[in-house]
Chains A and B, each alone.
Chain A
Amino acid sequence: MGDPLSAAFAAMADPTRRDIVARLADGDAGVTELAAHYDMSLQAVSKHLRVLEDAGLVSRTREAQRRPVHLEAEVLDLMAGWIERYRRRAEERFARLDGVLQELQEQDRPARPRGRRAGGQR
């Protein structure tokens, strides 16, 4: 699926770009400023920034001379939101599995009195 979310995930699949995003979380920074942290050419860093920009993860201010790079935290939040939703659906399944396991254990050990828990519903 060539959707924007995939572009954001794909952009974050690179360690340098993840590092750039982490740095930008502390505040806007210029390209030269960012490039100082990496053992690579300014062009190479610019290329990474372009990928992040195309994925909507960062933006460049037009006005200022040094065109600082700005992190679009909202896109990161959306990514985090999708991951959390996936996690929550898994947790819902596992909570139902808790109920099934509880029931199996009660069947296996009918002699031992146990408080019945709610749950295990379909």
Chain B
Amino acid sequence: MTSSTDSTVITVEQDMPAVRLQRDFDAPPALVFRAWSDPELVVRWLGPRDLEMEIERWDCVTGGAYRYVHRRGDDEHWFHGSFHEAREGERIVQTFTWEGAPDSVALETVTFTDLGDGRTRMESISIASSYADRDAMIASGMEHGIRDSFLRLDDVLAG
């Protein structure tokens, strides 16, 4: 509903269980990095719009860690991981686990490229442990649509 342009590009890799995202921001890399690493700022944009997000820990430094929860009523989803590397204004490498599937861990790398004119290109890649995990990641957080989609898919496959 704002004037921001929808420019997120997604690539679902076929040769590796990974998802790539790319998005440009009207702010210099240092600022985008800050919005990514300061928990008070992160909490304002990372959580899904219709869920409450609470950060237990967000220590975005090399060797740091994070844990947060998405909550809707009694429904809670916890996530945690380690910050493998936080290179100021340049890149963040972290692990990612949804605690509902504690044996699965993805490796995420986010890079910030200076486009000049106070603009930044963010590129991320999330590499899952398996194709099944990657696909579950794509299907995650879709509590509303998930059942309908599977029912529809079942219909298609049965037909």
Q: Which residues of A pack against B, CB within 8 Å?
A: 1-6, 9-10, 12-13, 15, 18, 56, 72, 74-75, 78, 81-83, 85-102, 104-105, 108, 117-120, 122
Contacts and interface: CB of A to CB of B under 8 A. Distances in A.
A9 B157 contact: no
Contacts of A88: 8
Main secondary structure of the interface of B (DSSP, over half): mixed
26 contacts: A1-B132, A1-B135, A1-B136, A5-B135, A6-B132, A10-B131, A56-B153, A74-B156, A75-B156, A78-B152, A78-B153, A86-B19, A87-B9, A90-B23, A91-B8, A93-B45, A94-B8, A96-B49, A98-B2, A98-B25, A102-B26, A104-B27, A105-B27, A105-B31, A117-B3, A119-B2
B150 A9 contact: no
A93 B131 contact: no
Interface of B: 1-4, 6-10, 12, 14-15, 17, 19, 21, 23, 25-27, 31-32, 34-35, 41, 44-46, 48-49, 122, 131-132, 134-136, 138-139, 141-142, 145, 149-150, 152-154, 156-157
A102 B32 CA distance: 10
Contact of A5 (B4, B7, B12, B150): B150
Contacts of B12: 83
Contacts of A6: 131-132, 135-136
Contact of A101 (B21, B25, B153): B25
A6 B10 CA distance: 18
B66 to A, nearest CB: 16
Given A4-B153, A75-B153, A117-B3, A94 B135 contact: no
Given A81-B149, A94-B25, A101-B25, A5 B139 contact: yes
The main secondary structure of chain A at its interface with chain B is: helix
A86 B138 contact: yes
Contact of B31 (A4, A96, A101): A101
Contact of A12 (B3, B14, B41, B141): B14
Contacts of B134: 9
Given A4-B153, A118-B1, A90 B21 contact: yes
Interface centre among A9, A10, A75 (most CB of B within 10 A): A9
Nearest to B8: A91
Contact of A78 (B17, B23, B45, B149): B149
Contacts of A86: 10, 19, 138-139
B156 A72 contact: yes
A95 B131 contact: no
